[in-house]
């Protein structure tokens, strides 16, 4: 099948499983952040493995389901786990879920991830609103343009919606939730960063680093979908100064899980305003 045929076949299957339910907001949940799906009321679960042509998530802390239902009084569909380039998938496979969400009618995309803090003032457990990003992964739009979704050269001046950022900051301030705001840099992984790479990312203007998110955001913006993004800081650059320090995947998922309640609250309250 062509790329377009694969997208439409997957979207048709998901649409049938939803049985007339039309989500307004798509949510992508990163490593250890699947808790938010438990808050969705009257859930419809669609395993990725059942969707025609769909890749299966193999990363730690990614269950591999669509969960559709009500959150914050609005119809949503959450991805309980995402697809990563480092898993060996093509970039078209990595962003297939976002294109499927576009076809089933989402009007907003919320993205989350677990990230390493390159900003030396960050602490484990901090929540960072993504205000911009640096993409060091292959661009998801390389290849023939899918005119049905958007233009050949989409604008990326404001990849993360300023109005949604302002609303999130207001909600956090009213509820005493401390937030960071910064730039996220995406690299391929699957290795964690060396101390020199952490320093490099900081020097080029990044506050946090991860292995995901930017392809999905680029494809969402290609289709003119407003995006809100948040990173949970699960390890920090200055920790690598300790000669005994080791970046551990299980510890990262545990740190994300500990912060998931605050992120879930913010997403839920923000979605309620839409």
What's the burial of 21, exposed, middle or buried (CB within 10 Å: 0-12/13-18/19+)? middle
More confident call, 18 vs 242: 18
Which residues partner with 80 through β-bridges?
29, 65
Cβ 25 vs Cβ 72: under 8 Å: no
d(CA 138, CA 134): 12
d(CA 153, CA 54): 26
Q: Is 187 helix (H, G, I), strand (E, B) or coil?
A: coil
Mean of all residue pLDDT scores within the chain: 92
Strand-strand pairing, 25-29 and 74-80:
parallel
- For 41, other C-beta atoms within 10 Å of its C-beta total 10
**Which region, left, alpha or beta, applies to residue 14 given φ > 0 means left and ψ of -120 to 50 means alpha?**
alpha
- Which residues are CB-contacts of 15 (< 8 A; sequence separation ≥ 6)? 103, 104
Which range is least confidently modeled, 1-15, 87-101, 214-228, 239-253? 239-253
Longest dimension (CA), the chain: 56
9-20: average pLDDT: 97
100-117: average pLDDT: 96
Residue 245: pLDDT band with limits 50, 70, 90: low
In tens, the pLDDT along 140-170 reads 999 999 999 999 999 999 999 999 999 999 9
pLDDT at 226 over 90: yes
């Amino acid at each position: 099948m062509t790329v377009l045929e694969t997208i439409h076949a997957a979207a048709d299957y998901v649409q049938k499983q939803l049985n007339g339910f039309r989500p307004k907001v798509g949510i992508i949940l990163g490593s250890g952040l699947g808790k938010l799906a438990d808050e969705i009321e009257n859930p419809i679960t669609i395993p990725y493995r059942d969707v025609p042509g769909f890749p299966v998530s193999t990363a730690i802390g990614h269950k591999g389901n669509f969960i559709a239902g009500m959150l914050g009084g609005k119809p949503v569909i959450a991805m309980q786990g995402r697809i990563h380039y480092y898993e060996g998938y093509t970039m078209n496979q990595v962003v297939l879920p976002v294109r499927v969400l576009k076809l089933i009618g989402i009007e907003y995309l919320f993205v989350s991830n677990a990230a390493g803090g390159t900003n030396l003032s960050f602490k484990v457990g901090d929540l960072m609103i993504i205000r911009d990003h640096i993409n060091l992964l292959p661009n998801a739009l390389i290849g023939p343009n899918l005119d049905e979704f958007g233009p050949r050269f989409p604008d990326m001046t404001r990849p993360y919606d300023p109005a949604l950022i302002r609303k999130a900051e207001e909600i956090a301030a009213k509820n005493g939730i401390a937030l960071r705001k910064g730039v996220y840099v995406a690299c391929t992984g699957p290795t964690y960063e060396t101390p020199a790479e952490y320093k490099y990312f900081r020097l080029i203007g990044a506050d946090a680093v991860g292995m995901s998110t930017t392809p999905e955001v680029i494809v969402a913006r290609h289709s003119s979908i407003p995006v809100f993004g948040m990173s949970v800081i699960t390890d920090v650059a200055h920790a690598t100064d300790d000669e005994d320090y080791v970046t551990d995947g299980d510890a990262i998922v545990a740190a994300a899980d500990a912060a998931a309640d605050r992120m879930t609250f913010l997403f839920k309250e923000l979605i309620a305003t839409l």
